[in-house]
Structure formats: structure tokens, C-alpha cells
Amino acid sequence: MTSPDSKKKLANKVPAPNKQSILDELQRGEVKFLRLQFTDILGATKNVEVPRSQFEKALSGDVTFDGSAVEGFTRVEESDMLLRPDLSTFLIYPQFSREEGERGRVARLICDVTLPDGTPFGGDPRRVLARQIERARQLGFEMFVGTEPEFFLFERTPGGVGSTVTHDKAGYFDLAPIDKGERIRREIVNKLLEMGFDIEAAHHEVAPGQHEIDFRYAPALETADRIATFKFVVKRVALEYGLLASFLPKPLENVNGSGMHCHLSLFKGGQNAFTDPEHEYGLSQTALHFIAGLLDHAEGIAAITNPLVNSYKRLVPGFEAPVNIAWSTSNRSALIRIPAKRGNSTRAEVRMPDPSCNPYLALAAMLAAGLDGIEQRLEPPPAIQRNIFKMTVREKRHHRVKELPADLREAVDELEKDEVIARALGEHVMDHFVAAKRAEWRQYSATVHQWELDRYLDLI
């Protein structure tokens, strides 16, 4: 994963689109439908699609929707909300099938959600991230993020229902014919490139049927936008091949789960603020404070970066997922790893997030944690260069190594204790997210699972 070489590279872009330029592009591209995309609190991508006759109204931010119908948004009596498009996110979707092309091309704009009077809606996850980006800007920083989302491809039944039968038996970096997903991965990457994504690599992962596509670094908001669209593209291409693409963190037992490692770096004045060749490990004090903040709030952000009951079945020893709250410059058993490259490529790889998370909330929580470390001038414990999985309890205690929450209930408990992360999320998001996750845990706890029947039914 490459970090920013220079902010000057990012400045060399085409002029920012405006309403008229987008209308012209819609006409040239013979676009018939425009999707106004947004994300609910739990990370599900939503959209309102309008026909050509409503393009001008949509670009003016005058399209309303019923917020009471969206998870965690508003009550019925205060349901009207507006979609205000971010014109910089405009793109035309590639054609995913011949039939789709015949129905007319589709374009997309990602929107901020506002109240009818134009006031930003406190429950909009994109707004939550924007607030933390502004907080970083006031401190002189801008965060760049590169991500490595993983996913599984499963067979569908003759009736089109998804299964957990993987489409191949390949492993890490395998090639065709063992890796049957090679063609699909290339198709996904080609569609993403058509849409202007900057993709660094794509390969088969460790588990059968598991794949990874790596994003080049970008500003945090742009990366979150890309992740939301990426999931749609992956699922859409898989569907064309008769497969199910799943971002569930742990769909299969006894194999590696799917993570979404996030490579974070701060830039200040066009230079990487994490690098300092005069200090130990080539890391600046800013980097060390940021790492310390991430470690200090790791338990509190877990419910955000790993938001499902299923997430914690990935975060167990033996499957390359982090369990221990520690950092390292060499081994991958730590929560945070510092890759070897320095200079403008200096960054912190946070290994706990999984692809089921809401990307806006996850990046906001990690940025808030790191900035708190900078503001409080926190110091991280010594880096641990050995395999933490092989350390004894006494050794972990000696090195001040704590563990991540063991399940979703524990993670939500920790989130409620963390005032910094709660403040970053805001009251609306915090209250609705916690309520939804408490309900999810209660339902899971009350469900009788097959494991219980297999283990106890004949014995008791």
C-alpha cells in the first residue's frame, strides 16, 4: 500500500465539476437515471433514483426523502429530509450487462443529508467524518487513507439463493486455474478503473473463495465514498457471474476471516507528518502520539470498526486477525503495524477493521482517536517485535498488552465508556447506533444455534 508521495500530485486534477458541467456530461453520456447515494448509520448504502426530467432539481439539492424509513435517521413526525449532492463525487456507472445498457445509463452522486431548512443532519455518517476532517484541518493536518478490503465469492443454488460453498479451493496469491476468481477480480477492477478509482493490486487471499482489492491512498472522505461504492460494484459484478459476493467478516469457520486493513497517515504543509529520520523507527512525535491515541481508544472504537456479532468470530487467535492492543514495526500479530517504507510513505496500518463497518464512522472514529493522542500528547508503550500470539499472560501484562473486546456486547459497553469517541460520533449517531447494536446482541443471545443442539441435545 503506497502512501502519498506529495500533496502536489493530488492538486493536479481537472477543474471541480459544477451543475452545468454535470448536466452537459449527463447529456453527452446519454444518461437516463441519476442515483443520489447516501449511507445509513449501520453502513447500508441507500439511494433515491431520479429520471432525466428531474436532473436539475436533483443537482440543486431539492430532492426530499422519508428519513423515518431509514435505519437510525428520524421519527415519522419529523421525516422529511433533503439530499444535497457533493458534485465532486459525480460519476457515470459502467454497464454491468447488455440488458442494463438497453435500459439506459446510470450516473451517481454521493449526497449529504440535511434537514428541510438546510441544516446538516446530525445522523448523517458522512457528516460525522467531515467534522473530524475539519478538526484535523484546524490542527494543520489532513488524513490520507489506503484500504485493503477483503471479501468472499460463494456459489448460488440453482434457484439463485446464496450459499457458503466457495467458488474455488485456492489460497494466498494463487493463479488460475486454481484461482477461479481471477476473471471476476479483473472484471471488478476494470469497472472500478472506468469509474476513476485508483487501484493498486488485486489477488486471491488465504481462504478458499476469498479475495482482496487494494485502494491507493486518498483523502479520508474520498476513501470512505469509494468503499461504499466498491461494495456495490463487487456485488453487482459477482451477480453477473452467478455468484454471491459477501463482506461478512467470518462466513466460514476454521479459515481466515475478511478484514479491511486501513493505512493511515497525516500530512501537514504538503509533507508527511509521521516521518522523522532522526527519531527511533523513523517516526515523528506526531506519529507516536497518533499511535498512542489509537491504542488508547482501541476498545472504544471496536464496535464501530467491527460492528457485527460475526465480527468477533474473526478477531480470535490463529487466523491472522489482531486480538491484542499493541503496535509493532515488524510483525502482523499487533493491532497496529508500521510498514517498512519511510519518508512520504510512512503510515500506520490499523488491522482490526472489517469490511462490514460503516466506512464513514470507522474512519471518523480512528481519526478522532489519533487526534486525541496528539492533543493529549499521549505516549505509546514500547513497540513489540515478537509474535504476541505466543506470549504468555504474564509477558503480555509486563508489556502492557490488553485485548480487544471479545464480543459485540463487550464492545458496545466499551464504546459507551469512551467519551472521546462518543463525542466524535455525536449524540444522534451514538444513541441510535448503540440501541441498534444492543437489540442485535439481544436477538443473537436469544437464538438457539445449531452448535448448541449438536453439543448438548443428546447429552442433557
C-alpha–C-alpha distance, residues 450 and 135, integer Å:
47
Low-confidence ranges of the chain (pLDDT < 50): 1-3, 6-13, 76-78
C-alpha–C-alpha distance, residues 208 and 172, integer Å:
9
Residue 71: predicted pLDDT: 64
Among 353, 376, 377, which Cα is nearest to 364's? Answer: 353
Among 182, 152, 170, 136, which Cα is nearest to 368's? Answer: 136
Catalytic residues: 66, 148, 150, 205, 212, 261, 332, 349, 351
- Mapped onto helix, strand or coil, the DSSP state of residue 50 is strand
C-alpha–C-alpha distance, residues 437 and 122, integer Å:
19
Phi-psi region of 179 (alpha: psi -120 to 50; beta: other; left: phi over 0): beta
Residue 172: predicted pLDDT: 57
Peptide bond into 177 cis (omega under 30): yes
Residue 77: predicted pLDDT: 40
> If you average pLDDT over every residue of the chain, what do you get?
88
Residue 340: predicted pLDDT: 84
48 exposed, middle or buried (CB, 10 Å; 0-12, 13-18, 19+)? middle
Percent of the chain with pLDDT strictly greater than 70: 91
